[in-house]
Amino acid sequence: MTLRKLAVVAALWGAVACAAQSRIVLKSGDVTFTAEPKGFRYGFAIDGRTFVPPDAMAGLLLAGSPVSVKPEGECVASHCVLSGTSAAGATVRVTVTLNPHHAQLVAEPGHTGDEVRFVSGGAMPAYGLADHAVEQKQFSTLANKQFNTDVTGFADDVFLSGQLLTRLVSNFVIYPKQGFAELLIDPYTKIVHTNGLQIVQGVKHSQEQVPLHYFFGNPHEIYAEYLKARNAAGFKVWMPKYEAFGVGWEAFGALGWDTNTKTVRDSIDHYLADGYPLKWIVIGSGFWPVPPEMHETTSIGLWDKEKYPDPATLMAHFHAEKLKTMLGLRITFITTGPYFEEGVKRGYFMMKDGQSQIFKGGWPKMPDYLLEARNPEALN
């Protein structure tokens, strides 16, 4: 081989080595994380088998623009901090932490409020999304007379709870065939897409940190890590009250709006006399005062004096029957109700631009404030 050929081979080898060095590689146990600096195209493999493939174009979009990254200093085996810049010039810091059954990717945009999307290659089948899975399948289910909980094909850029079917909401999605699950923990509007070609989780308006979690292994291992991540983020899972798993009675289901001391007591006592082993009851409809401004459970703690002249005696009657008794409760406070002034004064409601925000939804019909659930004093 001539000296010139040797020089060409050496140059080519140097280019290959440089490219290999530029790829970000982390390892923990049998799991390997790899990412290309250009476009932050990332994926996960176990024992050499890719189970979360990289997206074909980019793994992170900031305000719709693909992000490229480079390490801030030296990456260690299972941890790396990356400095990112989008094609539009926006900046973001990405911290990757890898464990054998859990990886966390945390994006910290230079400008809070920007849309952030994490993107990987696709996988199917997919399960999860709580009530959104039911909403997506309801029409095809009626047509096909079968129910399929696979949420493949779901796409929503405004992922929220809703008024009708989507009350219980979760963006946790599990891919048991591939052995992983994905969850972006954020209390605000999220972005969720899942199909065989691409998986997206993100936020419409970013806070200081946008944390995306991957969980690996069999379902037992995945859900164990999911539980830890939820608890650590403040969305705690508590041991259930076992009485709630018994047979129960609910006012709206039994009586609709026609509730009062007599109809409620007679209905419950009738079921007990027939031998139904009731353990708990809920009075969630019709107990509020009659005037429209008191309508529904925005009138927390207030009873209609004609329908329920002596609530304490009614409660004592049910407690004597060893029934756990619950009252319906909402976080809506109508703007003309008895508690709005105190709530506004003390900052108990959700805020916008420094002011208590007024909402208008399907229920109640009147404008209302929403309790700020992240304020412990408001909850108390």
Parse the chain into domains and list their residue ranges.
Answer: 23-232, 239-324, 331-380
User: For the segment 258-305, what is each residue's pLDDT rounded down to a tens digit?
Assistant: 899 999 999 999 999 999 999 999 998 888 776 666 666 665 667 888
Report pLDDT for 141: 47
The answer to whether residues 163 and 361 touch, using CB atoms and an 8 Å cutoff, is: yes
Report pLDDT for 169: 87
Residues of the chain with pLDDT below 50 are: 3, 6-20, 139-142
CA–CA dist 66, 89 (Å, integer): 10
Peptide linkage before 367 cis (omega within 30 of 0) = no
**Residue whose C-alpha is closest to residue 204's, from 296, 316, 113, 298:** 113
Residue 294 burial (CB < 10 Å; 0-12/13-18/19+)? middle
CA–CA dist 59, 72 (Å, integer): 18
The answer to whether residues 367 and 360 touch, using CB atoms and an 8 Å cutoff, is: yes
The structure tokens 């805020």 sit at: 351
The answer to whether residues 33 and 26 touch, using CB atoms and an 8 Å cutoff, is: yes
Report pLDDT for 149: 86
Backbone CA torsion sign across 30, 36, 39, 41: negative
| pTM score of the predicted model | 0.79
Region of 128 please: left (phi>0), alpha (psi -120 to 50) or beta.
Answer: left
Distances (CA, A) of 183 to 6, 171, 172, 270: 51, 6, 5, 46
Number of Cβ within 10 Å of residue 251's Cβ equals: 23
Report pLDDT for 22: 85
Structure tokens that stand for 73 in this block: 């200093």
First to last CA, the chain: 82
How many Cα atoms occupy the beta-carbon half-sphere of 134 within 13 Å? Answer: 11
Structure tokens that stand for 160 in this block: 């929220």
Report pLDDT for 133: 83
Report pLDDT for 298: 60
**Domain 23-232 listed as CATH 2.60.120:** no
Structure tokens that stand for 68 in this block: 């490229």
* Three-class HEC string of the chain: CCHHHHHHHHHHHHHHHHHHHHCEEEEECCEEEEEECHHHEEEEEECCEEEECECCCCCEEECCEEEEEEECCCCECCEEEEEEEECCCCEEEEEEEEECCEEEEEEEECCCCCCEEEEEECCCCCEECCHHHHHHHHHHHHHHCCCCCCCCCEEEEEECCCCCCCCCCCCCEEECCCCEEEEECCCCCEEEEECCCEEEEEECCCCCCEEEEEEECCHHHHHHHHHHHHHHCCCCCCCCCHHHHCEEEEHHHHHCCCCCHHHHHHHHHHHHHCCCCEEEEEECCCCCCCCHHHCHHHCCCCCCCCCCCCHHHHHHHHHHCCCEEEECCCCEEECCCCCHHHHHHHCCECEECCEECCECCCCCCCCEEEECCCCHHHHC
Strand order from edge to edge, sheet including 247-250? 247-250, 278-283, 324-327
CA–CA dist 115, 60 (Å, integer): 11
Report pLDDT for 20: 44
